[in-house]
Amino acid sequence: MVEKVVKLMGQKESIRNMGIAAHIDHGKTTLSDNILAGCGIISEDLSGQQLFLDFDEQEQARGITINAANVSMVHKYKDKEYLVNMIDTPGHVDFGGDVTRAMRAVDGAIIVVCAVEGVMPQTKTVIKQALKEKVKPLLFINKVDRLINELQLSPEDMQKRFMKIINEVNIFIQANAPDEYKKEWLVDVNSGKVAFGSAVGNWATSIPYMKSTNITFKDIIDYCNNEDQKGLSKKAKLHEVILDMAVRHLPNPLEAQKYRIPNIWHGDPESSVGKSMAACDESGQVTMMVTKITIDPQAGEIANGRLYSGKIKKGMELYSDGAKENLRIQQLGVYMGPDRINVEQVSAGNILAITGLKKTFAGDTLSEGKIAPFESIKHYSEPVITKAIEPKKPADLPKLIEVLKSMAKADPTLQVSIDEETGEYLLSGMGELHLEVTEYRINNERGVEITSGKPIVVYRETINKQGPEVQGRSPNKHNDIFIVAEPLEDGVYKAIHEGKISEGRRKNTKDIWKELAEFGMEKDEARKVKNIFQGNLLVDSTRGVVHLDEVMELIHDGFEQCMKKGPLTNEPCTKVKIKLIDVKLHEDAIHRGPAQMYPAVKNPIYSSMIQAEPSLMEPKQNLFIQTPSSFMGSASRDIQSRRGMILDMQQEGEQSTIQASVPVAEMFGFAGDIRSATEGNVLWNTENAGFEKVPRELQKELVSSIRKRKGLDPRPPQASDFL
């Protein structure tokens, strides 16, 4: 198998890079197991139970996928062998960051949907994540055996259910696919872009497969009714149907990189490196994007990613745009599930693993010499829950710091910070489960015993109207800065949040001013944007200020420090526009250093924001509950007691579905309460729904409690405090 994989890595037409993505518990990892068994990587007897790609201890204990796992395998289609590089991704909303990063590495995705539950919130999220990266989707409708054996649907009713799922998926593809692929990428049953089956039963079929094997839907129903899915799996082989579909309908790297490179790399397409990447040319300059960092107990940090051009060899030196230096490759490998197989070289178009690049982060660009970096990976969710952690033994503090640094590298959706007032280490993540898994790993896998505080919700600060122009003066009285704070336009904020406008400091806005204007900003102002930071903007509206260039970096620093810690509660700011109106500077550079400039920038920003009706924004989650109709009232009361807003209620037979929006702060303890309210008859899941303003009547008390918790004066600050 290894020899075949290595041989096929150089044959671009024969490579398919694909991900498997779905809502939680829709059967991705069981499907992956059976595909691997069909390709001879694991035993057929254990497939579906071994969960080969859930090899992490926590994944096995919790029965869910937490980490995206890579595997390379060989599949024969029409007497020709193909190399399939596959990534199995998590379905739980807390680990959605792994899905986003995996989609950068692949060209196609098999979207798995449960035939019983249908299209769920995370199904839509993973389709959206794939399409944003120009990854072509295919559909596998799983758990069809449950429709036959449990729900006992007639063939006509089953067909209606399939069409409902396909139509829902297609509506979502049409709404989110790139314009040029809105029709071409729709999943169509007759052409074989949709497969049906049972991952647990290890069988699948599609219209082309039925035609070629003469197996009808009636045969499938008979096999299931006779409880002979094992016999069916011999005739309608799951791995054959899925991998045949992938080989036929997913693009090879030569085709995919033509349209994917302009989407993920904004350098000069006419440059030699631009042409090499678009052509997937292995004789060109090496360009690779790191999509994931994994930690191996023996080998240390391993950089996984996609090679877009060139040929990487063991011992080579590559420039990392994150580390800002050349790093030497110690080992090269490809993954076969938990095992990493070492190889001497890897050519363009493949997914690979590199050992030895210790200073590299997920999202970094690796290349021979400096090039324009790849577009940063935009995660759909932000951390919403924080815990304070500390080592049980004070002597373990240096080790804990190192562990936290490497974990934040491996998982960019995990944020680590130090509370300067209390000295506590703060760990912020996507939800309770995300932080629980991280704590377990620190304690058990990294060998640092820790204690942790209660989970705390992460809020955001924003403003509701334009503040006055405020003069900030440096402590030495030699420099004056005049600043106005105002709310950022809704369209611009949304575009930044969705990754349509990239963040960062800018010398000029040639690349983005038109987009800013298109999303609602005045053209003149759009040309003066100097910094986009965490959904906030800094605009330079000054004219002809002498020495401004010399202090601009310090102004950026001051602006970013304010946006990280707002004036109301020291929570991060969002949707704020800070305008630099005028600057008066001392002629001598010695009088305008950081100690003078930072207060002159920060104080007027805070003062103007305090006078611009500041308010807190709280994270919300969309909540989806399925329960028997007799428990619908109890479930609704539980939601409403948590300040939840019911958005939709539907009834199908004896089953009711409730959709609601609930503040994250009110969701602690929900799992136990909803089981109690429904006597255990409930299925529920959540998806992050961004931030919304805290109700006005709750704000005063909330601001006071957050300030107390942080050791600040409980009294809300006044504008005069900063002047």
One-character DSSP codes across 368-430: SS--PPBPPP--S----EEEEEEESSGGGHHHHHHHHHHHHHH-TT-EEEE-TTT--EEEEES
Q: Which CATH number covers residue 269?
A: 2.40.30.10
542: confidence class by pLDDT, cuts 50, 70, 90? very high
Are 275 and 226 contained in the same domain?
no
Are 414 and 493 contained in the same domain?
no
Are 28 and 167 contained in the same domain?
yes
Contact 64, 93 (CB under 8 A): no
Q: Which CATH number covers residue 643?
A: 3.30.70.240
- Weakest mean pLDDT among 249-253, 368-372, 634-638, 669-673: 669-673
What per-residue confidence (pLDDT) applies to 536? 95
718 assigned to some structural domain: no
pLDDT tens-digit map of 548-581? 999 999 999 999 999 999 999 999 999 999 999 9
Whether 94 has a pLDDT exceeding 70, the answer reads no
Domain count, the chain: 5
CB burial of residue 152 (10 Å; 0-12, 13-18, 19+)? exposed
Are 68 and 198 contained in the same domain?
yes
Are 635 and 542 contained in the same domain?
no
703 assigned to some structural domain: no
Among 398, 432, 458, where does a domain finish?
458
Whether 611 has a pLDDT exceeding 60, the answer reads yes
152 assigned to some structural domain: yes
Among 367, 402, 435, where does a domain finish?
367
pLDDT tens-digit map of 188-232? 999 999 999 998 888 999 999 888 888 888 888 888 888 888 888
Distance separating alpha carbons of residues 704 and 680, to the nearest angstrom:
38
Mean pLDDT of 294-321: 86
What per-residue confidence (pLDDT) applies to 355? 87
User: For the chain, what percent of residues have pLDDT higher than 70?
Assistant: 92
Distance separating alpha carbons of residues 196 and 113, to the nearest angstrom:
10
712 assigned to some structural domain: no
Whether 62 has a pLDDT exceeding 60, the answer reads no
The mean pLDDT value of the chain amounts to 85
Q: Give the CA distances from residue 495 to residues 55, 89, 503, in Å, rounded to whole numbers and listed in that order.
A: 38, 26, 11
Are 179 and 90 contained in the same domain?
yes
E strand spans, 401-514:
415-418, 425-429, 450-452, 456-457, 460-463, 470-473, 480-487, 504-505
CA–CA–CA angle 16, 18, 21 (5° rounding): 165
Are 450 and 552 contained in the same domain?
no
Which of 315-329, 371-385, 522-536 has the highest average model confidence (pLDDT)?
Answer: 522-536
Distance separating alpha carbons of residues 298 and 231, to the nearest angstrom:
43
Whether 409 has a pLDDT exceeding 90, the answer reads no
Q: Which CATH number covers residue 234?
A: 3.40.50.300
707 assigned to some structural domain: no
Three-state secondary structure call for residue 31: helix
Are 74 and 41 contained in the same domain?
yes
Are 277 and 140 contained in the same domain?
no
Are 39 and 69 contained in the same domain?
yes
530 assigned to some structural domain: yes
Whether 187 has a pLDDT exceeding 70, the answer reads yes
What per-residue confidence (pLDDT) applies to 65? 45
CB burial of residue 80 (10 Å; 0-12, 13-18, 19+)? exposed
Are 134 and 81 contained in the same domain?
yes
pTM: 0.74
Domain that includes residue 638, residue range: 616-698
Are 518 and 447 contained in the same domain?
no
Among 458, 481, 509, where does a domain finish?
458
Q: Which CATH number covers residue 495?
A: 3.30.230.10
Q: Which CATH number covers residue 408?
A: 3.30.70.870
pLDDT tens-digit map of 65-85? 444 567 888 888 888 999 999
586 assigned to some structural domain: yes
Q: Give the CA distances from residue 330 to residues 21, 69, 410, 439, 664, in Å, rounded to whole numbers and listed in that order.
A: 32, 22, 19, 30, 44
Torsion of CA 418, 423, 424, 428, to 10 degrees: -20
* Number of C-beta neighbours around residue 348 at 10 A: 29
pLDDT tens-digit map of 2-15? 777 777 888 889 99
443 assigned to some structural domain: yes
